[in-house]
């Protein structure tokens, strides 16, 4: 069965669009924002080539599985990318990871949860993913709260790439059950 075609995801306040090569400059600025990269890329500066490679990898993931990274824009001001959200293969495993980040000007408004919920709904209901994981540095309690609001379950805490990291996950049945009862 072919994966669903890449398409925009629309929420009450957001438009999520599959990342495109033309988004590289905006994504580089976002991913290199000091507050964003602090927990996202292990605080590394993302050079242009790395940003372009991540976008290319996302495009390939969309072609193979119907999901990848999305730019996040406010529906009330659609000209500016305010964040990103999506899925990718988790390192050298068969698992799929949920990843997200918003510009600090948009924190504490529920937008990260809204974007991540839309992505989870898409990958579970349209793409047929059975389980999604997410990892965050333990001190990043904002991200932990997003994962909990999404209904993801705590899996483990471990040293990952030299950082104290917590892992969460959700199975398709659990997500679908949450939608029906919540």
Instruction: Identify the CATH number of the domain in which residue 21 sits.
Output: 3.40.630.30
- Does residue 102 lie within any of the structural domains? yes
- Does residue 2 lie within any of the structural domains? no
pLDDT mean over 71-95: 91
Strands 163-171, 69-74: pairing is: unpaired
Q: Which domain holds residue 32?
A: 9-181
Q: What is the pLDDT of residue 1?
A: 57
pLDDT mean over 54-73: 95
- Does residue 73 lie within any of the structural domains? yes
Q: What is the pLDDT of residue 176?
A: 72
**Encoded tokens for 7:** 């398409």
- Does residue 118 lie within any of the structural domains? yes
Q: What percent of the chain has pLDDT over 70?
A: 95
Give the pLDDT band (50/70/90) at residue 3. low
Decide: 51 and 40 in contact? Cβ < 8 Å. no
- Does residue 3 lie within any of the structural domains? no
pLDDT higher than threshold 80 for residue 66: yes
DSSP bridge partners of 159: 164
- Does residue 99 lie within any of the structural domains? yes
DSSP helix, strand, coil percent of the chain (3-state; round to 5): 40, 30, 30
pLDDT higher than threshold 60 for residue 180: no
Q: What gap in Å lies between CA 168 and CA 97, rounded to an integer? A: 10
What's the whole-model pTM score? 0.92
- Does residue 108 lie within any of the structural domains? yes
- β strands within the chain, DSSP E: 9-10, 14-18, 69-74, 77-89, 96-102, 131-137, 153-160, 163-171
- Count of structural domains within the chain: 1
Q: What is the pLDDT of residues 96-116, one digit of tens each?
A: 999 999 999 999 999 999 999
Q: What is the pLDDT of residue 33?
A: 96
- Does residue 1 lie within any of the structural domains? no
């Amino acid at each position: 069965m072919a994966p669903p075609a890449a398409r925009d995801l629309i929420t009450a306040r957001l438009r999520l669009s599959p990342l495109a090569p033309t988004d590289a400059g905006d994504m580089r600025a976002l991913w290199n924002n000091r507050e964003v990269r602090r927990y996202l890329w292990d605080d590394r500066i993302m050079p242009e080539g790395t940003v372009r490679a991540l976008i290319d990898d996302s495009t390939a993931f969309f072609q193979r599985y119907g999901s990848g990274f999305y730019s996040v824009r406010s529906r009330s001001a659609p000209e500016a990318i305010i964040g990103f959200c999506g899925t990718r293969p988790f390192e050298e495993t068969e698992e799929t990871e949920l990843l997200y980040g918003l510009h600090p000007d948009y924190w504490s408004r529920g937008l990260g949860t809204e974007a991540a919920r839309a992505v989870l709904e898409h990958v579970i209901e349209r793409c047929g993913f059975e389980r999604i994981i997410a990892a965050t540095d333990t001190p990043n309690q904002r991200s932990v709260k997003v994962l909990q609001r999404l209904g993801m379950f705590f899996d483990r805490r471990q040293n990952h790439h030299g950082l104290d990291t917590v892992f969460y996950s959700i199975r398709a049945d659990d997500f679908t059950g949450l939608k029906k009862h919540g």
